[in-house]
Amino acid sequence: MRVAASSAPHLICAADALADGGAGVRFTVQWAGGSQSAFVVRYRGAVYAYINRCAHRALELDWEPGRFYDAEARYLVCATHGALYEPDTGRCVAGSCTGGLVKLATFENNSYVYLAADAAVRVSGD
């Protein structure tokens, strides 16, 4: 799915597509002058979305499409470097990275997950 920040929210997925600590949903956003892979996951009942790019190197995090969590579903993990990120903040807590993941503003409404209108994109964990 391709979405872009604009004056209206954009549908990402049905809310029930995201289980706590389970597989994420990938989508594409227009960011930093081009199309970027992004993902949304559920953690402790809430949804969080990020640009799908490790803070260490510009590589996608998931080791299989939609697989972002470590074995204990405690952290998001970079499949290439093993860097660990807090699912709710995107802050790097272990591994070869500084700062954190680029967070995208999302919300849930009527059993769907949306990218927020004029989604404020920020670097988490600074």
Residue 1 — very low, low, confident or very high, per pLDDT cuts 50/70/90?
very low
Q: Is the pLDDT of residue 123 over 80?
A: no
Q: Is the pLDDT of residue 84 over 80?
A: yes
Give the pLDDT mean for 97-125. 79
State which residues form the domain around 21. Answer: 2-123
Q: Is the pLDDT of residue 126 over 60?
A: no
The domain total for the chain is 1
Neighbour-count burial for 21-52, b at 16+ CB within 10 Å, e otherwise: bebbbbbebebeeeebbbbbbbbeeebbbbbb
Distance of CA 108 to the CA centre of its chain: 15
For residue 7, the model assigns a pLDDT of: 57
Give the pLDDT mean for 98-119. 89
Provide the 3-class DSSP secondary structure of residue 116.
coil
CATH number where 88 lies: 2.102.10.10
The more confidently predicted of residues 46 and 124 is 46
Closest CA to 73 of 60, 88, 59: 88
